[in-house]
Structure 1
Amino acid sequence: MKQCREQAFLLRLVPYKDHDLIAHFLGQTSGLLGAVLYRARGGKEGFSYQPGDKLELDYLSQEGSDLVRVNSFSPLALIRPHDFTYPRFLCHSFLVDLVTRISVPGQASPGLFGLMERMGTWAWPPQEELRFVLWALDRIGQETGYPVDPKVCAQCGKATVKPGETEWVVRKETYELEEPGLVCALCLGHPGSWSGAEVKALALSQSEAFLDQKQPIPVPLMAQLCLKLSRRLLVALELAPKSLGLFERLLLG
């Protein structure tokens, strides 16, 4: 067996037998990790951490085994669930669920690990919870091979922005979000469901300043984008997270 130590985010806890838990972690170097935590339910020595907490794990791994044996763990950065707004709780649950389902054992993912770090440190201002989700969905799309480039039609390559403009001015065109990306109405042969305002908002959400709230986007517009991007990802990846129902109710108002 191999002795390992690494930083990891707790992703999921599942009750196992009478007193144990099965835990899933996102390791910084090992990707998705599974472990049985014995006698972790209840009692003075119960496991009290929450999905989203960052821990340092000492564990033993054995080649060919799906589970590692955790010897010890210590907290590095803990979330504060009692401070969550209800929308933040739904957003947090959905994103952690999504990261859990796309993480791969034995495969490090700096992008997903960085997303989890940012999720724990971002301020989550009230009424702006979807700002982080929109930013995160773009990163997850890039990580899983389903990025969306709002600057060009994915089929014909025609720019969505008018040439010669100093600011982002989208053409008077509609688009549809297909598997390869945004496709213009000319290529579709019919009007698309994406307006120019949505394309512009998506472009703004991909900027570095977006999480600093320097790019104002109305909350209803962010909700529309989150709904469309998340549905595309879930269909492409064939996923149906348990948290999806409540998350979509939040988006639909």
Structure 2
Amino acid sequence: MKVVDSAALLVRSVPYGESDLVATFFTETEGRVGAVLRGARRSTKRFGGTLEPIHELVVRLEDRGRELCVLKEARIARPRQGIVSSLAAMEGAGRALRWVRHLCPNRTPEPRVWHGLRDLLDALDASREGAGVGVLLVTFGLRLLAETGYALDFERCARCGKLCPPGRPAFVDAASGGLVCMNCGGARRTMGGELRAIAARLSNPRSTGTDASELAAVTDAHASELLLIIEEAMAAHTDFAG
């Protein structure tokens, strides 16, 4: 039997049987892991009210080689009360957690995704009244797609590799992996040159963060359009349904 001690985030919990819960955690060391919580519905004292999304947990899991581990202990290591007090931040955090649940494979460590998600939640926790939620989500979503093998290319045709000149509008098909040139059939959706440039910068994995000038360049309309493209890509490759 393997014992796992790890930082974790709760991404889902559902009732199981008469008194148990089945939880899905995204852990720092093991990636996405499912676990059964014995007696969690029968007694609120079982885990002391620690099993809430958004707050960073430390969990102890028993892995007996079955589909589900068994949760033995859990405690809150990093509360994020700033998120809890903002509806916009709560919705943004919940959206990011759903993305991770659908895109990250089971029991596969994803350290870059873990640190990116932690940074996103910390940024949402520190934001005033949920300011900047859209661009923070877009940045995380684009890089999550890249880390899980579904990167979107906003500079070249995803089919033939032809470079699209900077500043030009272009067709984009999220299911195909980004831009699609006219010679390759185009697509129903188009992106303006400014939006393409923003998307390319935000999806750049070499960038460690988003500075104030980057935030200022992304309007709510930009963020909304890019979030649609991101979630179209997720739906095309996984069971994510928005």
Give how far 1:145 is off.
1.5
Specify the alignment match of 1:43 in structure 2. Answer: 44
Residues 147, 222 of structure 1: CA spacing in aligned structure 2 closer, same or farther, 3 A cutoff? same
Contact 2:153 2:178 in 1 (8 A): yes
- Helix, strand or coil at the partner of 2:5: strand
Contact 1:185 1:191 in 2 (8 A): no
State the identity as a percent.
Answer: 23
- Helix, strand or coil at the partner of 1:220: helix
Specify the alignment match of 1:204 in structure 2. Answer: 201
Specify the alignment match of 2:235 in structure 1. Answer: 234
Give how far 1:189 is off.
5.8
Specify the alignment match of 1:5 in structure 2. Answer: 5
Specify the alignment match of 1:249 in structure 2. Answer: none
C-alpha distance in 2 between matches for 1:158 and 1:200: 16
Give how far 1:111 is off.
2.6
Give how far 1:199 is off.
0.8
CA RMSD between the two structures: 2.5
Give the alignment's TM-score, normalised by structure 2.
Answer: 0.83
Specify the alignment match of 1:251 in structure 2. Answer: none
C-alpha distance in 1 between matches for 2:3 and 2:52: 25
Contact 2:32 2:104 in 1 (8 A): yes
C-alpha distance in 2 between matches for 1:221 and 1:237: 24
C-alpha distance in 2 between matches for 1:142 and 1:201: 16
Say which of 167, 180, 184 aligns to 2:177.
180
Cα deviation code 1:5-29 (max 9, x no counterpart): 2222221121234443221111222
Cα deviation code 1:176-195 (max 9, x no counterpart): 22513212335436885222
Residues 192, 184 of structure 1: CA spacing in aligned structure 2 closer, same or farther, 3 A cutoff? farther
- Helix, strand or coil at the partner of 1:211: coil
C-alpha distance in 1 between matches for 2:92 and 2:201: 20
Residues 204, 106 of structure 1: CA spacing in aligned structure 2 closer, same or farther, 3 A cutoff? closer
C-alpha distance in 2 between matches for 1:189 and 1:56: 48
Residue 235 of structure 1 aligns with an amino acid whose one-letter code is A
Specify the alignment match of 1:91 in structure 2. Answer: 92
Give the alignment's TM-score, normalised by structure 1.
Answer: 0.80
Work out whether 1:221 is the aligned partner of 2:195.
no
Give how far 1:223 is off.
0.7
5+ unaligned residues in a row in structure 1: which ranges?
Answer: 162-168, 245-253
Residue 155 of structure 2 aligns with an amino acid whose one-letter code is K
5+ unaligned residues in a row in structure 2: which ranges?
Answer: none
- Helix, strand or coil at the partner of 1:108: coil
Specify the alignment match of 1:102 in structure 2. Answer: 103
Instruction: Tell which deviates more after alignment, 202-211 or 51-60.
Output: 202-211
C-alpha distance in 1 between matches for 2:202 and 2:141: 10
Matches within 5 A, 1:1-253: 1-41=1-41, 43-45=44-46, 46-63=48-65, 65-80=66-81, 81-84=83-86, 86-122=87-123, 123-125=126-128, 126-161=130-165, 169-171=166-168, 173-178=169-174, 179-188=176-185, 193-207=190-204, 208=207, 211-215=210-214, 216-240=217-241, 244=242
Cα deviation code 1:189-208 (max 9, x no counterpart): 68852222221221232353
Cα deviation code 1:117-158 (max 9, x no counterpart): 112211344342111110111112112221122222223433
Give how far 1:226 is off.
0.9
Contact 2:50 2:74 in 1 (8 A): no
